[in-house]
Amino acid sequence: MRTIELIDVLWLKGNSIQAAFEIESTTSIFSGLLRMADLITMQPNLNIPLYIVAPSERRSKVMTEVNRPTFASLSPPMSEVCRFIPFEALQERLKVAEDFIQFLKPEFLDAISEATEIEHV
């Protein structure tokens, strides 16, 4: 329970977690990912989207950290369940959704989030 309390934002529907977010503007991306890794390790049947929200200039750092061996060895690998959302894209999307924000589901983020899995050539 302590691990869940440390996650920056949980999207809830009743008592059910719908999505988890780590907001990383100045703090370590690794520590945010570690909290989310703890969540999916402790709750293996929890099938929710995970998001790292950070400035766009931290995109490459997010991709590198998500694909570290520590997170790649999880089941499922972190890169398959964690997506990146740039602050700027989120702010724009929230402005558009302002009038109906209370009715949104986490899936509305699919259009602005990006996969973190690195394609192997």
SS3 for 114?
strand
Tokens representing 63 are: 């991709």
Chain centroid offset of residue 15 CA: 19
- Please state whether 14 falls in left (phi above 0), alpha (psi between -120 and 50) or beta: left
User: pLDDT 10s digit of each residue in the chain, 121 long?
Assistant: 677 788 999 999 888 889 999 999 888 899 999 999 988 888 878 889 999 999 999 999 999 999 999 999 998 899 999 999 999 999 998 888 888 888 888 888 888 899 898 876 5
Q: Please choose, from the candidates 18, 1, 94, 44, the residue with its C-alpha nearest in 3D space to the C-alpha of residue 9.
A: 18
Amino acid residing at 51: Y
Contact 3, 35 (CB under 8 A): yes
CA pair distance 49, 55, nearest whole angstrom: 19
